Amino acid sequence: AQSVTQLGSHVSVSEGALVLLRCNYSSSVPPYLFWYVQYPNQGLQLLLKYTSAATLVKGINGFEAEFKKSETSFHLTKPSAHMSDAAEYFCAVTPGYSSASKIIFGSGTRLSIRP
């Protein structure tokens, strides 16, 4: 069985500060891992994905995530927060062996940016 746990349902940072959103996964098979972002009243947009090609993954809008197998983590970071980063972020996992299967989402972390 697979699952993801996002630590912190709400994170607030100042504009220009480091953003760190935490995600830990559980998987009995090598996973594919994703971060999705959902802006207010919009659908889900893929930020980045880990597919075993490289442990440090760079995504859109300056975000990146590092896959750490020893820690079963896939934390999302951005060096300098911008007001436009305010949104809900979802970590997600799917079995890497299957080309078509459901995505298991974490509970989400709402990111607020203070001026």
Partner 1 sequence: GAGVSQSPSNKVTEKGKDVELRCDPISGHTALYWYRQSLGQGLEFLIYFQGNSAPDKSGLPSDRFSAERTGGSVSTLTIQRTQQEDSAVYLCASNTPAGGSYNEQFFGPGTRLTVL
Contacts with partner 1, residue ranges (CB under 8 A): 32, 34, 36, 42-46, 49, 51, 90, 94, 98-108
CB nearer to partner 1: pick between 64 and 88: 88
DSSP 97-111: T-SS-PPEE---EEE
Q: How far is the CB of 10 from partner 1 (least distance, A)?
A: 14
In this structure, are residues 88 and 43 in contact, taking their beta carbons and an 8 Å threshold? no
Q: How far is the CB of 33 from partner 1 (least distance, A)?
A: 10
Q: How far is the CB of 88 from partner 1 (least distance, A)?
A: 10
In this structure, are residues 108 and 89 in contact, taking their beta carbons and an 8 Å threshold? yes
Q: How far is the CB of 72 from partner 1 (least distance, A)?
A: 19
Q: How far apart are CA 4 and CA 56, in angstroms?
A: 19
**3-class SS of residue 102:** coil
CB nearer to partner 1: pick between 5 and 72: 5
CB nearer to partner 1: pick between 45 and 112: 45
How many CA atoms are closer than 13 Å to the CA of 91, on its beta-carbon side?
31
Structure tokens at 93: 């996992």
CB nearer to partner 1: pick between 2 and 72: 2
